[in-house]
Structure 1
Amino acid sequence: MNYFAHLHIASLTQTSWVGNLLGDFPVDSKMLDVDLLEGWRLHQQVDVMVDNHAASLAFRAFPRKGRRRFSGIVQDIVMDYWLIQYWQDFSRVSLPVFCDQAVAGLLVDVDRSPERLKGMIKSLEKYNWLPNLGTHEGVEKAILSIMRRWRHGQYLQAFVDDLPDVIQQGEQTFLSLYPDVLDFVALQTKKAEATHSLG
């Protein structure tokens, strides 16, 4: 799951919007405030669950130009694409309203964000490009952004070259995976609430 899915999870669990994105940014979890730590921990749990899900294993096994070992990075971005396509099945809030809510929620904690996330939030405040993650162009831009930042980024070029097929391969993966993700998140939330009540 990438940015958009983690923001959706933040809204469902009423945990920190920023906290739920921190798993994708370099932070020292020991230095996080309690609310941010809760979102960071949920992000980590979701990532582990997604990586080990049968649908993810199947996605990584598809024949394609890109190397299998790097396909999980692309899968996360493609999952955001399909969440936006099927948004009405997973939320009663319209997509434009949710995107505005997400940006407003991120701005609340922008000053407690690491610099790169802070820059992303400021970009969202100005342009609110979240809906663009549901377009082929948006998927390509997200991959290219990783390619620029990551020292092994050149290995993602094959996925860009094969992007229409890669995106299409992700549809059934998403439909099999995301309901299980939401069930998993609900269970983790109940466990966290039970721990808080005991404390």
Structure 2
Amino acid sequence: MNFLAHIYLSGDNELITIGNFVGDGVRGNKYKLYPREIQIGIQLHRHIDTFTDAHPLFRQCTKRLHKGYGHYSGVIVDIFFDHFLAKNWKTYSDIPLDVYISNFYKSLSKNIDILPPRIKRITPIMIEGNWLLSYARIEGIQTVLNGMNQRTKGLSKMNEATKELIEHYAAFETDFTLFFEELKTFSKMKRIAIEKQFQDV
């Protein structure tokens, strides 16, 4: 999953949310260098990604993209799913999306000194460009995909993927809606299990 989903699936704990957000930026056992609650968030991030990558509905979505985007298909679907989460936000939260995101940005800024270097570098850019709120619009997704394509020096052609999003919009949205209900349940149970593991140590 991409940024917005990882944040949402963290629950209400600020540091667990930060840990889930930075999960991709922390490799191997380096998560142990962080405070306990951030460790929980990083572990949760990894479990969410494993569950997602193996899920039949997610794989069904990546198959629509494999021909044109190969192993980048999963990354693209992650971004598409953040679009549907943002677009349908009222289904998932009573807090308005702009307020929710603003609160997260404040939390991120407050904890910026403990972020991994790469995440620390992109945080001001993310906040200034309000990336998370932009996900609700296809134009915002296009901007994200443009940036990802640049990071691959144009090899991924991810900037072209909004064509498939528009062409198969209803199918992608249906798959997201069904999948996300399962992911919410999984994430809540896994978060509780990880917290218990840390308490037992």
Scaled by the length of structure 2, what TM-score is found? 0.86
Structure 2: which amino acid aligns with 1:144?
A: N
Number of the residue aligned with 2:113: 111
Number of the residue aligned with 2:21: 21
| Aligned partners of 1:82 and 1:171 also within 8 Å | yes
CA deviation string 1:86-117 (max 9, x = no partner)? 11111111111101111111112211112331
Structure 1 unaligned regions, length at least 5: none
| Secondary structure in 1 matching 2:17 | coil
Number of the residue aligned with 1:69: 71
In the TM superposition, what is the alpha-carbon distance from 1:57 to its structure 2 partner?
1.4
Structure 2: which amino acid aligns with 1:62?
A: R
CA distance in 1, matches of 2:82, 2:54: 18
Structure 2: which amino acid aligns with 1:103?
A: Y
Pairwise mapping of residues 1-199 of structure 1 onto structure 2 (< 5 A)? 1-12=1-12, 15-25=15-25, 27=27, 28-62=30-64, 66-150=68-152, 153-199=155-201
CA distance in 1, matches of 2:54, 2:48: 10
Structure 2: which amino acid aligns with 1:77?
A: I
| Secondary structure in 1 matching 2:19 | coil
Change (3 A) 1:31 1:190: closer
Structure 1: which amino acid aligns with 2:149?
A: M
Change (3 A) 1:168 1:74: farther
| Aligned partners of 2:14 and 2:107 also within 8 Å | no
CA deviation string 1:2-50 (max 9, x = no partner)? 0111111224455433211222225433433322221111111000100
CA distance in 2, matches of 1:14, 1:118: 17
In the TM superposition, what is the alpha-carbon distance from 1:150 to its structure 2 partner?
2.7
| Aligned partners of 1:159 and 1:166 also within 8 Å | no
Q: Following TM superposition, where does structure 1 have runs of at least 4 consecutive aligned residues deviating by more than 4 angstroms?
A: 12-15
Structure 2: which amino acid aligns with 1:9?
A: L
CA deviation string 1:51-97 (max 9, x = no partner)? 11111111122277623432111100000000012111111111111
Stretch of structure 1 that moved more, 58-67 or 109-118? 58-67
Aligned length: 199
Identical amino acids, percent of aligned pairs: 22
In the TM superposition, what is the alpha-carbon distance from 1:158 to its structure 2 partner?
4.1
| Secondary structure in 2 matching 1:154 | coil
| Secondary structure in 1 matching 2:139 | helix
In the TM superposition, what is the alpha-carbon distance from 1:181 to its structure 2 partner?
0.8
